[in-house]
Chain A
Amino acid sequence: MSAVLEKVRTQGNEARYGAIRIDDVVKIYDPEGAAVMAVDHCTLDIKAGEICMIVGPSGCGKTSLLNAIAGFHDITSGAIYMDGEMLCGPGKPKADPGADRIVVFQNGALFPWKTNLENVAFGPMMQGKLSKKEIIEKARSMMADAGLSGTEHNYPGEVSSGLRRRVEIVRALMNDPKVLLFDEPYRALDSLTRSVMHESLLDIYYKNKVTIFFITHDLEEAIFLGHKLVIMTTRPCRPKKVLEVDIPHPRDYSVLTSPRFRELLEETASVVHEEARKSFASGEKEG
């Protein structure tokens, strides 16, 4: 890994695509009936190649915002742009889902009926851009890069949950996406596995510059990984505090014990805690 780190240090951040602009977005579920407001006039700018961490209490509307970017559902008002192009907005309430923005799901969504290799090859196979042989070759080499050699012919159900997450990220990267959208992907993992996953995610990120929109409710995870940290209010969600994490990348685990990390944690913990308390008091459930 150190060679990669060296390369990153000298070349800096190269991503030129995948800037996301969320402009005054409102999302109301069932506007004629129950009218649940999940996102409330949310505005946020994410630079190309940036890791943007979204922290907020359960049920505050984080997934709703992510689904709007991914194009899984429409928005009520406002607009979302990627690299200046409107994904959804006035006249086009729902973005088209596509391989330029790929979601890594909370519970994992590798197809259990396909082998890991078939899963990784899925995107290009569907898009039919490359020949089958080229796809398999690319899939194999990307899996090898991510330390997944030897698991190609296993089904996802046969490998550990940590490995599954990695396969899922490789499956996304096969499509050269501009943005990766993570919805609390490491929530179900134990803390040791999670720390391994963080390093492997950063490792992958340093090799493939993409924009990352990452939802979590673990503040340490957020500060450790992110360039930018966005703390959301309780439902309906809106950025309450946006913070640039000024710890230089590439990072590794020594960051966790650095004084700056502790400072940032102290600075933000009370804000998060306050929102969590409000959320708890209002009896919010996650959707």
Chain B
Amino acid sequence: MEQVERLLKRTLPFQVVSPETLDGIAEISRHEVFKAGEVIYGAGQPAEEVYVLVSGRVAHRIDPDIKARVHEKELQVGDVFGWAAILEGEKVRLADVACIEAAEVLKIDGARLLELLRKDVNFGEAALKSFSQLISQQYYLPPSVSERVPTTLSKVGDTRTPASNEAEPQTASAWTLTMYRAGEWLRSPDPYLMMVGFALMLGFWYLTVEVLKLPRFEDLPGLTTVVKEWFAEDPVYGMSIYTAEYYQHIWVSIRRVAIAFLLATALGVPLGLFLGWSRSFREYVFPVFELLRPIPILAWVPLAIIMFSGSETPVIFLTFLASFFATALNTMLGVESIDESYTRAACCLGANRWQVFKEVIVPGSMPYVFTGLQISVGVAWFSLVAGEMVSGQYGLGYVINTSYTMVRYPTIIIGMVTLGIVGYTTSAMVRVAGNYMMQWRLREMALGGR
């Protein structure tokens, strides 16, 4: 069954449908084998099933009475044929199809297939559209045939009004696409491999520290100690998921990162765009930028403390700085990555310099900008902890540092793990936001970047 689905997903009309529909289609598919020379069907016969070629060589000859630009072709593995079974009007075979060599096919009942596609509110229409494209582009048939593919889904009690409401199907499919990808991930081996990875790491920790008590490891807090402390209502060292203090540290750190990240984005993206766009601006600014960028954030600590009063602003400044460089640099690379033919095309079509910037440079650099923002959140957390260890009253970096001086070892680990979780979540949020804003990329990738 899984194999059938995998095969169906490689075919043009079915690669877009939702997983449930694919399941359904796989269920109604029947496997059949034909010998060399055997006829699969002949023109004029009633058409009930749609076929997918699984293996072997099959010749497809369209009835000479039908107007087609090309009449004979050899089908490729993965090709869908016999689509006459879903056409509106008289369902008869339009071609003779015979095996050149032994062939395996999948047979899918046309009426039931249509029913399934009509139930698929978001992708059924796309699949049907893709059938009609297939007919005109791969079988070279005129619109009089390809237009007989049923297109309207509103027949089946669909509440959405077709065509007139244009914005809605797009947002709906944006959401379902995201869900679709999440479902894909859950079905792939990835999540289970990930769990194995985690289990190995935790097992190693538990064994080395608590069971084997290896030298150099025995002083470390053990897995069970940390977990007990973390989830204790009355923690030995004063911090667990039941204490308000824990959330205060998390909140302070998140707030600092958020402020620094937003500031870095607000300044870094425009700077990067101008650096990439204007040659002269770049010649002034870029050398300075390149000189400052490699200086490690820790080296900025003294200056930050001298320059900013209090404990809050220096930490935010340090966090901001690292993010800012990452964002600006990636945005600039994004502008450079834009193919010259896009800007030229825009010029041809009458766009002025400002319009080129707004319509081509900004959207064209978005993929890099979002890569930059993901790096930027990462380095923001990194420099935040550096800053919090040196100055500051609260925050996860502060917790880790003070727990060390006060010999509360399990609390160090709690701080570290919390940092990992919070950091991962924020960077995932940036990724999701990026995918949401770049529907075009998401959809392109969903189709395997054809």
Say yes or no: is B355 at the interface (Cβ < 8 Å to chain A).
yes
Contacts of B129 in A (CB 8 A): 150-151
Say yes or no: is B360 at the interface (Cβ < 8 Å to chain A).
yes
CB interface residues, A 149-167, toward B, < 8 Å: 150-151, 153, 155, 157-163
Contacts of A70 in B (CB 8 A): 344, 348
Contact B348 A103 (CB under 8 A): yes
Contact B137 A175 (CB under 8 A): no
Contact A102 B348 (CB under 8 A): yes
Contact A175 B363 (CB under 8 A): no
A70 to B351, CA, bound (A): 14
Contact B348 A160 (CB under 8 A): no
Contacts of B351 in A (CB 8 A): 122, 126
Say yes or no: is A253 at the interface (Cβ < 8 Å to chain B).
yes
Contact A175 B349 (CB under 8 A): yes
Question: Considering only CB atoms, which chain A residue lies closest to B146 in the complex?
Answer: A147
Mark the stretch among B34-42, B247-255, B266-274, B439-447 that contacts chain A. Answer: B439-447
CB within 8 A of A126: which of B133, B143, B359?
B359
A175 to B133, CA, bound (A): 27
Contact A111 B341 (CB under 8 A): no
A159 to B363, CA, bound (A): 20
Say yes or no: is A109 at the interface (Cβ < 8 Å to chain B).
yes
| Per-position binary interface string of chain B over residues 44-77, scored 1 when its CB falls under 8 Å from any chain A CB and 0 otherwise | 0000000000000000000000000110000000
A171 to B350, CA, bound (A): 12
Say yes or no: is B347 at the interface (Cβ < 8 Å to chain A).
yes
Say yes or no: is A99 at the interface (Cβ < 8 Å to chain B).
yes
Known contacts A153-B170, A253-B69; decide if A97 and B342 are in contact (CB<8 Å). no
Contacts of A196 in B (CB 8 A): 69, 137, 140
Question: Considering only CB atoms, which chain B residue lies closest to A162 in the complex?
Answer: B137
Say yes or no: is B187 at the interface (Cβ < 8 Å to chain A).
no
Contact A157 B440 (CB under 8 A): yes
Known contacts A102-B348, A126-B349, A126-B351; decide if A109 and B440 are in contact (CB<8 Å). no
Contact A147 B348 (CB under 8 A): no
Contacts of B441 in A (CB 8 A): 112
CB interface residues, B 391-438, toward A, < 8 Å: 438
Say yes or no: is A141 at the interface (Cβ < 8 Å to chain B).
no
**Distance from B428 Cβ to chain A, minimum over Cβ atoms (Å):** 23
Say yes or no: is B450 at the interface (Cβ < 8 Å to chain A).
yes
Question: Considering only CB atoms, which chain B residue lies closest to A171 in the complex?
Answer: B349
Contact A111 B444 (CB under 8 A): no
Counting chain A CB atoms within 10 Å of each CB, the highest count among B69, B347, B364, B439 belongs to B347
Say yes or no: is A123 at the interface (Cβ < 8 Å to chain B).
yes
What residues make up the interface of A, taking CB atoms closer than 8 Å to B?
70-72, 97-99, 101-103, 105-107, 109, 111-114, 122-123, 126-127, 147, 150-151, 153, 155, 157-163, 171-172, 175, 192-193, 195-196, 199, 253
11 residue pairs A–B, Cβ–Cβ below 8 Å: A109-B344, A111-B359, A113-B366, A114-B363, A150-B129, A155-B440, A159-B133, A162-B137, A193-B137, A196-B69, A253-B69
Give 4 nearest A-B pairs by CB, closest first: A157-B444, A123-B349, A109-B345, A109-B341
